[in-house]
Amino acid sequence: QQPVQSPQAVILREGEDAVINCSSSKALYSVHWYRQKHGEAPVFLMILLKGGEQKGHEKISASFNEKKQQSSLYLTASQLSYSGTYFCGKANNAGNMLTFGGGTRLMVKP
Amino acid sequence: DAGVIQSPRHEVTEMGQEVTLRCKLISGHNSLFWYRQTMMRGLELLIYFNNNVPIDDSGMPEDRFSAKMPNASFSTLKIQPSEPRDSAVYFCASMTGSVGKLFFGSGTQLSVL
C-alpha cells in the first residue's frame, strides 16, 4: 500500500520554509525521500532507518516517527533549486522493495 | 560509472503494436525495479527483481505486460499488445544490497496512439 503525502502542492518564495508529510496505514520500516525535477528522473535525497532518526541534506532534513508511522521532510530557507516533486517511499520489511507516495509538488519563486 | 541506461528515450507507437523497453543496470547492482509514472497514478512499482529473479510482480497491470532479466545487467519490459492507456513514462532503477538507494534511469516516454 502506498504511503500518503501532504500537501499535494506548495508554492514558496525564496528563503521560506516548508514541511512535507508522509504517513502510512501500515508499519513503516524505513522511509526514503527522493526529488524529481521536471522532465528528469527521481534522485535520492536520504533514507531514515530508525524511529526518531533525523537526517540532513543541504538545508533539507527529515524526521521519522516509527510509532506514528510518519515522516516529515523539512526544507529550510528554500532556494530556487529546491523546486520539483518530492516523493516519500516506504520499503517492505526486508527493506528491498520500495513503493512511493503520490508526491508533493514544490515551486520556489524568486 | 555510466549509471542506469534506458532505451529508447521516446517511443511512439500505434495501438496493438508490441513495445519493448530496455534497461541496463549499474555494474554490481543486484536489484532491478520497473516503475511507471503518470499524472493520475503517480510513480507505480510494476515489478522487482533480485539477483535476476522476479520477486514481486503484483504491480504488473495485466497479462499484456511482461518483464525479463536474462542476465545480471540487463532487463526488458514488454507490452503486447499496447493500448493508449499504457502511455506513461517508464523508469527502471537499480540498487545494490538491501535498504539502499535507488539509481533511476532517464526513463522512456511511451505514447500509444
- Determine which of B47, B95, B99 to mutate to test the interface with A (most A C-beta atoms within 10 Å): B99
The verdict on B74 touching A (C-beta cutoff 8 Å) is no
Out of B45, B48, B106, closest to residue A41 by CB: B106
Please tell me the distance from the alpha carbon of residue B90 to that of residue B69, in angstroms, as a whole number: 16
Q: Is the pLDDT of residue B75 over 80?
A: yes
Chain A contacts of B54, Cβ < 8 Å?
A: none
Chain B contacts of A32, Cβ < 8 Å?
A: 101-102
Rounded to 10 degrees, the C-alpha dihedral B57/A27/B88/B22 comes to -50
Rounded to 10 degrees, the C-alpha dihedral B19/B74/B49/B79 comes to 0
Q: How close is the nearest chain A Cα to the Cα of B110, in Å?
A: 14
Segment among A65-69, A72-76, A99-103, B14-18 with least mean pLDDT: A65-69
The DSSP annotation for A14-54 comes to: TT--EEEEEE-SS--S-EEEEEE-TTS--EEEEEE-STT-E
The per-residue b/e assignment along A60-89, b for 16 or more CB within 10 angstroms, e otherwise, is bbbbbbbeebbbbbebbebeeebbbbbbbb
Q: Is B56 close to A97, i.e. CB distance below 8 A? A: yes
Q: Read off the pLDDT of residues A11-61 as tens digits, 9 standing for 90 and up.
A: 999 999 999 999 999 888 889 999 999 999 999 998 888 766 667 777 899
Q: Is A100 close to B50, i.e. CB distance below 8 A? A: no
Q: Is the pLDDT of residue A104 over 90?
A: yes
Confidence at residue A26, expressed as pLDDT on a 0 to 100 scale:
85
Out of B48, B91, B103, closest to residue A97 by CB: B48
Confidence at residue A51, expressed as pLDDT on a 0 to 100 scale:
65
A33 and A73 in contact (C-beta within 8 Å)? Answer: yes
Return the ∠ at Cα B54 (arms to B49 and B60), rounded to 5°.
Answer: 95
Q: For B48, which residue in chain A has the nearest alpha carbon? A: A97
What mean pLDDT, rounded, does chain B reach? 93
Out of A94, A97, A100, closest to residue B43 by CB: A100
Confidence at residue B98, expressed as pLDDT on a 0 to 100 scale:
65
Confidence at residue A34, expressed as pLDDT on a 0 to 100 scale:
95
Chain A contacts of B35, Cβ < 8 Å?
A: 100
Please tell me the distance from the alpha carbon of residue A47 to that of residue B1, in angstroms, as a whole number: 22
What single letter denotes the amino acid at residue A58? E
Q: Which of A65-69, B10-14, B40-44 has the highest mean pLDDT?
A: B10-14
Please tell me the distance from the alpha carbon of residue A75 to that of residue B6, in angstroms, as a whole number: 31
